[in-house]
Chain A
Amino acid sequence: MVLSVNNVSVSLERSRIVDGIDCHLKAGELLMLLGPNGAGKSTLLKAISGDLPYGGSVTFSGRELGQWRPQRLARQRAVMPQRVEVNFPLTVEEVVQLGRPKMASDRSDLVVDKLMNELDIGHLRHRLVPGLSGGEQQRLQLARVLAQIIDSPGDRLLLLDECTSALDPAHQQMVLDLVRRLAKAEDMAVLAVVHDLNLAAQFADRLLVMKAGRLVHEGSAREVLTPELLEAVYGFTARVVELEEGYPMVVPRRRGPSGAYTAPLKPSCRQAS
């Protein structure tokens, strides 16, 4: 196992945000974490990222997280936070370079170039980051975290917190397709918090569903994304359609006598609002 999370709890300001979570992640596996706002997804991710103190145990590559030397861990584990704000005049290329480990190979510039092109920010390399759009900044941050671990030896873990929330549909597909390809080709383990159920169904190997700090369901998209579970977890009614592409699609329904709908037509609208 690359990542083992055992009975992890996190309390913030005396309330328990994450409550006894267990999950395990193999090399090359793409695991997506779902759940309504306030379910504790980001908090769990922050605990695994080392940003928050937690109870229980998190082992990466067989060793407890706290026992890793920070510099060493940074070569194996990369974290993309929900928001990174840059107020200073750094260029796109400089920010991607910041991700590169200190003792990286001589191919550093090549790696950085390739990632920038794959994430469609190559043409922005000399632009200053504060002037970029939200979506461009998000792709930039993904390039930075990938540059951090992509050519490191040994187990690698990528933690992504809503890495597609600011992207248009074409870039969402491009980004998640790249993440999935890298996970498989490089045997990288990926844990990603997402809101878009259909993107999760399309790209994840396995889904975890959290609600009120607890893990309520785990399995393949077909097992997890059922009308009953969506009703119970999110409180909205939806049809689930099996696509010929081989994965299910969630289609929310309007309801209520006044015609006002309680759930948005497209789940991704939720996070945009």
Chain B
Amino acid sequence: MIRDAAGRLGFAPSLVVALLAAASVALVSIASGAYPLALGDILSVIIGREASDPVASMVLLEVRMPRFLLGFLVGAVLAVSGALLQGLFRNPLADPGLIGVSAGASLAAIAVIVLGNTWLGGWLAMTGEWALPIAAFLGGSGTVLLAWRVANRSGQTAVATLLLAGIAINAVAGAATGLLTFYANDEELRSLTFWTMGSLGHAGWDDLLVGAPFMLLALLAAPWLARPLDAFLLGESVVGHLGYRTDTVKKAAILVVGLGVGAAVAVSGLIGFVGLVVPHLVRQLLGASHRVVLPLSALVGGTLLVAADSLARVVVAPAELPIGLMMALIGGPFFLALLLRTKVI
């Protein structure tokens, strides 16, 4: 049977189902859009043969492929970051967006866009094409640390304080973003809008080259934290009793989240709720062990974001909805339902 004795889905069958779902969503996503592609063309390009339609081949390789890969990576990273934060804070409501990490990363990136030619000129000169992801990473990690400092008293994370800290951080980052918007010129404004609503619309290979190394690093590092994070679920002091260096684990998790979310925000702007919705679903179906939650969250998160992106391209075609809006439309009601069901936070 697929369900184990505790009534949960087994890891291996779930993995197979998730992989199949990811593959089919990938095909649908690559095929659909303003220039629909035939399945046969897609398959022949993938196995390295010439497509019957040369335009199809171009659209596939230059537009759809990078967009699919970037969307999948961003979704996977956001979902895994959500799972990491939830384990670290021992609370299923922690999410990079809710506690302000995404806003911090986005603010740093926006500051680079707007002030890059003036006050932050030195930063651009120093970091070159990496200016945005590195700034977003620093902004993201800084915000996790800040939220941690505010919410963590004598080893216990006060969840209400954490979420309130998130509100404050989001408000401050929002205000600062507003100030920068005020200061920005027309061209900068256009890229700012892209940041604040989240979009995969401009995704190309160069975005992928800049963002993917950070995101892949975060995804590959996360499984190392699975066992100590399981210990975190029993309480912070227990982590030490079980022989893990609590501080090292915490810092590593914060670093991974900052790295992943920073890079994700740098290439796709603000996309919320993936980190909240996906790990929650996975835990409901498969249990809370991070050895299961982390890999499946990555798969399901990537699939969900790619699916949402395909939908965003179709609903108001030929225009597209920003993916950030799309996720908020799906995730917001989900979050409310979650709050209604949770009796005690």
Q: Do A and B bind each other?
A: yes
**Residues of A contacting B234 in the complex (Cβ-Cβ under 8 angstroms):** 84, 86, 95, 98, 144
**Does A70 contact B238, Cβ atoms closer than 8 Å?**
no
CA distance A71 to B227 in the complex (A): 13
Interface assignment of B14: CB less than 8 Å from any CB of chain A: no
Interface assignment of B242: CB less than 8 Å from any CB of chain A: yes
**Does B287 contact A70, Cβ atoms closer than 8 Å?**
no
Q: Which of A46, A51, A89, A98 contacts B242 (CB 8 A)?
A: A98
Interface assignment of B152: CB less than 8 Å from any CB of chain A: no
**Does B233 contact A49, Cβ atoms closer than 8 Å?**
no
**Residues of A contacting B6 in the complex (Cβ-Cβ under 8 angstroms):** 91, 126-128
Interface assignment of A115: CB less than 8 Å from any CB of chain B: no
Contacting residues of chain B (195-245) with chain A, CB-CB under 8 angstroms: 227, 230-231, 233-235, 237-238, 240-245
Contacting residues of chain A (71-106) with chain B, CB-CB under 8 angstroms: 71-75, 77-79, 81, 84-91, 94-95, 98-99, 101-102
Interface assignment of B92: CB less than 8 Å from any CB of chain A: yes
CA distance A86 to B288 in the complex (A): 11
CA distance A125 to B7 in the complex (A): 12
**Residues of B contacting A102 in the complex (Cβ-Cβ under 8 angstroms):** 227
**Does B238 contact A126, Cβ atoms closer than 8 Å?**
no
CA distance A99 to B231 in the complex (A): 9
Interface assignment of B67: CB less than 8 Å from any CB of chain A: no
- With both beta carbons as reference points, the residue of chain B lying nearest to A159 in the complex is identified as B241
**Does B243 contact A98, Cβ atoms closer than 8 Å?**
no
**Residues of A contacting B185 in the complex (Cβ-Cβ under 8 angstroms):** none
Kindly state the interface size class of chain A when it binds its partner.
35 or more
Interface assignment of B64: CB less than 8 Å from any CB of chain A: no
- With both beta carbons as reference points, the residue of chain A lying nearest to B344 in the complex is identified as A87
**Does A88 contact B243, Cβ atoms closer than 8 Å?**
no
CA distance A144 to B235 in the complex (A): 14
**Residues of A contacting B32 in the complex (Cβ-Cβ under 8 angstroms):** none
**Residues of B contacting A128 in the complex (Cβ-Cβ under 8 angstroms):** 6
CA distance A86 to B238 in the complex (A): 12
**Residues of A contacting B155 in the complex (Cβ-Cβ under 8 angstroms):** 51
- With both beta carbons as reference points, the residue of chain A lying nearest to B156 in the complex is identified as A85
Chain A proximity mask over B75-93: 1 for CB below 8 Å, otherwise 0: 0000000000000001110
Q: Which of A71, A98, A127, A145 contacts B231 (CB 8 A)?
A: A98
Interface assignment of A198: CB less than 8 Å from any CB of chain B: no
**Does B227 contact A90, Cβ atoms closer than 8 Å?**
no
CA distance A174 to B283 in the complex (A): 34
Q: Which of A72, A79, A85, A87 contacts B92 (CB 8 A)?
A: A87
**Does B92 contact A88, Cβ atoms closer than 8 Å?**
yes
A-B contact pairs, 6 of them (CB 8 A): A51-B155, A70-B243, A75-B243, A81-B238, A94-B288, A94-B289
**Given A90-B289, A94-B288, 4 additional A-B pairs, CB 8 A:** A73-B243, A74-B243, A78-B241, A127-B6
